[in-house]
Every structure is written in C-alpha cells, then in structure tokens.
Homo-oligomer: A and B are copies of this chain.
Amino acid sequence: MILTEKRMSKSELQKILKSFFPNLEEASLDAFMKHASYLKSTKGTKLISEGKRHRYFYLILKGGVKSYYSKESREVCMWFAFKNEVVGTITTYEGLPSKETIELLEDSELIKFNIEKIKELTLTDLSISHLMNGIIIEHTLYLEERLYQLQFMTSKKRYKVLYESTPEIFQEVSLTDIASYLGVTRETLSRIRSK
C-alpha cells in the first residue's frame, strides 16, 4: 500500500540522486531528475509484479525488498536489496513483462524513476547510458556469482558464505525466504542452522 507519493523539493531530490550516482554529469542528472519522485510505502507492497509490464525502477532510501519468482504457490527468492541500492528487473528494462516480483520486506522509503524515459535518454545521453550500463553489469556479476555458488557449493557452504558475508540479512529476511534463496527447503535450512 502506497502511503505517500509526493513531489520532493528539487534540491533534496538532487542531493539524493547525486549520492546514488556520483559520476553522473550535471546536465544528465537534471534530465534524470524529471522522471524521478519520492515514494513511501508499506511492507508487502509489490513494486513489480510477475507477468506484468512496469515502468519504474527504484532507489531504496530506507527499508528493503525481496525479488522472487513464484510458481504453483512456491516462491523462490532471487535477491534481496536494502538501503542505498538500485532495484528493478532486467525484463522491465527491456519493456517486457517482468518474470519476477519485487516486494517490500518492510515499510520503506524509495525514489522511483521511470525507466522507459531513462532508457530513452540513453539514446542521446552518454553519461546516462554508462550509468545504466554499470547498473546492469553489477547485476550480471551478481548473477554469475550466484550461479557459481549454486553449481559448486553444497547447501551448507552456501549458507556459510551468506552468513559470513551478510549476517544482517537474517535480521531482515524470514528463514523461509532465505531457504528458497539458498535453493533448499525451510526444513533443510533449519537443520543446517542447528549446527
């Protein structure tokens, strides 16, 4: 449920965007800003729903989200994101119906930006083109690492890596979601943890 979608003061928005995208040129930032706005929303809100076309990407100012695929009432989490991260789906970027759902894990504050418009800007604006490139590449490196872990590591090892790299995640995300993310059932995760 969306609580507020307000027009933020120009300077405030600018400041936020600068902190997310420090390499973006001034003129590009102004152009970008025209398609961005502040949003506050409650836990459980779906920013992007599986099977639908969407127009927006988001910056997380406060709170967190999970991305998941669902099938026959089973949900498998693909990633989680928190404060200071950019979120969206590559299918949305491509103008396709999203395969994933992105849902708020808690009440959150966000900047949403119209990715359709931003993508149009990439046609003429090199700075924005590189920005988007960078975001996609970062995501790609992440996917490769995940694929590597799923194919090379045992579930115990994957749990260990997650626990050691981002222990905070266990405060924010349910064990059910973490289990699906690690590619095991809740029960198995529970047994792994009891050691």
Residues of A within 8 A of B (CB): 69, 71, 74, 76, 78, 90-91, 93-94, 99, 122-124, 126, 129-130, 132-133, 136-137, 139-141, 143-144, 146-148, 150-152, 180, 183
- A69, B148: Cβ atoms closer than 8 Å: yes
Task: Please list 7 pairs of residues, one from A and one from B, whose beta carbons are closer than 8 Å in the complex, sorted by A's number.
Answer: A69-B151, A94-B137, A99-B148, A133-B136, A136-B140, A140-B140, A147-B147
What is the count of identical protomers in the complex?
A: 2
Residue of B nearest to A182 (CB): B151
Interface of A is mostly: helix
Contact partners of A146 in chain B: CB under 8 A: 147
Which residue of B78, B90, B152 is within 8 Å of A137 (Cβ)? B90
A140–B90 alpha-carbon span in the complex (Å): 8
Separation in Å of the A11 CB from the closest CB of chain B? 30
Which residue of B123, B136, B151, B180 is within 8 Å of A126 (Cβ)? B123
